[in-house]
Amino acid sequence: MGTDDKTDIVKVAGRTPPTVTERVVVGLVSEAAYARDRLKARTGLNAADVNNRALQLYDAIDEELYAGAELLLEYPSGRVAAVRITVDPKDLRSDPPAAVSVLNATATLTDWGVEARGRIAARRGFSNTDILNQALQVYDRIDEERKFGATVRFRYPDGSIKTMIYK
């Protein structure tokens, strides 16, 4: 699965600059709040940009998973790791729901974020809160692995491979 393989590309990004279209209040579980703080520190982005990028990235990944793909991280050493991303937001909570620390936060969403959230909700039926909690944790994990040179790929049941490119 090296760089010489012929692969399709899954792109995240591209259009005209987004405009702010919506503000929603969500309850971030502690894991998602920590993920957002780590992403802000690593990327230098503000909370609104982190939230919107998280939604866009999660939407692209979830679309491929929904189509039956397996998420893989390929490292420069050639090591390939399969990554399981749960599709049930309740699985992200390590503590019983009553014991989960929740931070109420206002999320500013651009038109891109609103579109991504809508597609995820249509596929999975998740609430705004569940979508943003999961999106932040997925973005944090992928961004962290990219520091080590990981490439995001999807492997489909027919054996085909797609590579994700995002900025």
Residue 136 pLDDT greater than 80, yes or no: yes
- The answer as to whether 145 is a domain residue is yes
pLDDT per residue as tens digits for the range 36-87: 999 999 999 998 889 999 999 999 999 999 999 999 999 999 999 998 876 5
**Residue 83 structural domain:** 15-166
Short-list 150, 33, 50, 134, CA closest to 91 = 134
Number of structural domains in the chain:
1
Mean pLDDT of the chain: 81
- The answer as to whether 150 is a domain residue is yes
Cα–Cα distance list, 108 to 31, 39, 94, 151 (Å): 20, 16, 27, 29
Burial grade of 51 (CB within 10 A; 0-12, 13-18, 19 or more): buried
Higher per-residue pLDDT: 22 or 94: 22
Burial grade of 150 (CB within 10 A; 0-12, 13-18, 19 or more): buried
Determine if residue 39 is left, alpha or beta; phi over 0 gives left, psi from -120 to 50 gives alpha, anything else beta. alpha
Cα–Cα distance list, 94 to 24, 35, 39 (Å): 25, 15, 21
- The answer as to whether 5 is a domain residue is no
- The answer as to whether 1 is a domain residue is no
The per-residue pLDDT for 151 is: 92
